[in-house]
């Protein structure tokens, strides 16, 4: 006779395990630990048992459906127990080769090549925009339309640039899966042109000398915290990326030699970078040295903790307090300011300027210049730039007439 839910609920454990039969080999094994669904069958002349679940997580109806599936396998000459083990192994392999597992393996092997900030941003983007939708799927099952649907979700919130960036990142770990033999081809390869093009935005910058003059004057007169004040004064003189300024450490700076050596691990291009310091830059660093060198490894530590660098928002917030909106000027904008005027006003050679901006510069044979290339010209250029900015603060130097440029023809 078939079992009922009431019978199963009311069944209590006894001194010894016992069974309640539902027919066709299905029974409920009851012991002091719980109630277990089992299917007893014969295969190749041997008596075997297949576990079908635990009551009440597996209901009577669900147990009967699992029984039906097992009996179909048996009718086709397949041992249900062997089939179940094979499915478990397949599921385990799928889990090990899920998109998230492969992506995290790739990330773990790759992140040492990036700055910490870029690595943190990359994994956060994957966790936010990719893993929730594709992370659990076997990477071998993912096709171009699957990736495109996820990227379109990013596009739909107006983040076109992020969608393109995520396409690049996905392509990197899919190619890693191909290289390691997990995958046969990269589905991102077929998505070229599928996303809306990105309208490139340049960092807002003030490049007209007539407008640079009042900016430098208000920076000179800024009355905020000393750390912020010194950072704001130094950034135009060295025109590094704001993140590179924030992460500056005293161990990298030689005030006697007037040089700042940034290790490649902190640079966007992953190459060591050398910054000649003008006398004005040295003076600013000497001003803040007594305050921060003894208490922090950072030149510009956070106001909350000496163990962390200055906040990434500090420079831009100071510019806002000086009256400059985010559409007018940003910390990154000092790079464009220097690039434009070192070329058009002070007339220094482009390759010297580009090297000092830490852009990729190659010689006639395609070889990358090393960090000490043109060091004499760069030292002279950095001092000339600082002197020109000083002149602007007193209303002179608009045309750079006092500068003797390095011959642009080489």
Residue with tokens 């970078």: 273
Is the bond preceding 353 in cis, omega lying within 30 degrees of 0? no
86-to-41, 81, 82, 83, 296 alpha-carbon distances in Å:
19, 9, 6, 5, 58
Read off the DSSP letter of residue 278.
Answer: P
66, 246, 273, 335: which is the annotated catalytic residue? 335
324 as an active site residue: the answer is no
Strand 34-43 to 273-276 pairing: unpaired
124 as an active site residue: the answer is no
9, 124, 308, 359: which is the annotated catalytic residue? 359
273 as an active site residue: the answer is no
Phi, psi of 175 (to 5 degrees): -70, -35
Q: Is residue 391 a contact partner of residue 341, using CB atoms and an 8 Å limit?
A: no
Strand 34-43 to 46-55 pairing: antiparallel
Query: Which DSSP string corresponds to 316-372?
Result: HHHHHHTT--TTT--TTHHHHHHHHHHHHTS---HHHHHHHTT---B-TTSPBPPTT
CA 122, 125, 130, 132 dihedral sign is positive
241 as an active site residue: the answer is yes
71, 369, 371, 380: which is the annotated catalytic residue? 369
Q: Take residue 318 and report the two structure tokens written for it.
A: 């100071």
Q: Is residue 262 a contact partner of residue 275, using CB atoms and an 8 Å limit?
A: yes
399-401-403 Cα angle (round to 5):
115
CA 244, 250, 256, 262 dihedral sign is negative
241, 273, 339, 378: which is the annotated catalytic residue? 241
Beta bridge partners of residue 43, listed in sequence order: 46
Q: How far apart are CA 78 and CA 76, in angstroms?
A: 6
268, 297, 320, 380: which is the annotated catalytic residue? 268
| Residues with catalytic function | 241, 268, 332, 335, 359, 369
């Amino acid at each position: 006779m078939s079992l009922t839910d009431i019978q199963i609920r009311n069944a209590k454990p006894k001194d010894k395990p016992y069974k309640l039969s539902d027919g066709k080999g299905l029974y409920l094994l009851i012991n002091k630990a719980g109630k277990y669904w089992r299917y007893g069958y014969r295969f190749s002349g041997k008596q075997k048992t297949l576990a079908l679940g635990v009551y009440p997580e597996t209901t009577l109806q669900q147990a009967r459906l699992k029984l039906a599936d097992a009996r179909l396998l048996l009718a086709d000459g397949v041992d249900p127990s062997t089939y179940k083990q094979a499915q478990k192994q397949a599921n385990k392999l799928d889990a090990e080769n899920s998109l998230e597992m492969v992506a995290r393996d790739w990330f773990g092997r790759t992140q040492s090549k990036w700055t910490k900030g870029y690595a943190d941003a990359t994994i956060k983007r994957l966790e936010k925009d990719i893993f929730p939708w594709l992370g659990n799927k076997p990477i071998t099952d993912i096709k171009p339309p699957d990736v495109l649907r996820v990227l379109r979700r990013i596009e739909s919130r107006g983040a076109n640039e992020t969608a393109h960036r995520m396409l690049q990142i996905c392509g990197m770990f899919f190619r890693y899966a191909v290289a390691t033999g997990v995958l046969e081809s990269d589905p991102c390869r077929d998505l070229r042109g599928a996303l809306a093009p990105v309208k490139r935005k340049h960092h807002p910058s003030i490049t007209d000398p007539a407008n640079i003059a009042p900016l430098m004057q208000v920076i000179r007169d800024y009355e905020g915290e000393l750390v912020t004040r010194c950072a704001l004064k130094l950034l135009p003189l060295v025109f590094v990326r704001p993140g590179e300024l924030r992460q500056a450490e005293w161990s990298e700076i030689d005030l006697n030699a007037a040089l700042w050596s940034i290790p490649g691990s902190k640079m966007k291009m992953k190459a060591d970078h050398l910054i000649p310091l003008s006398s004005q830059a040295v003076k600013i660093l000497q001003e803040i040295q007594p305050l921060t060198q003894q208490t922090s490894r950072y030149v510009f530590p956070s106001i909350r903790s000496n163990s962390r660098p200055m906040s990434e928002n500090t420079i831009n917030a100071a510019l806002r307090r000086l009256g400059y909106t985010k559409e007018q000027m940003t910390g990154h904008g000092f790079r464009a300011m220097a690039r434009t005027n070192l070329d058009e006003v002070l007339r220094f050679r482009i390759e010297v300027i580009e090297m000092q901006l830490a852009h990729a510069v190659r010689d006639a044979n395609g070889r990358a210049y090393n960090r000490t290339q043109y060091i004499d010209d760069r030292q002279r250029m950095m001092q000339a730039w600082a002197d020109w900015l000083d002149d602007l603060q007193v209303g002179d130097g608009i045309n750079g007439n006092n500068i003797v440029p390095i011959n642009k023809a080489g």
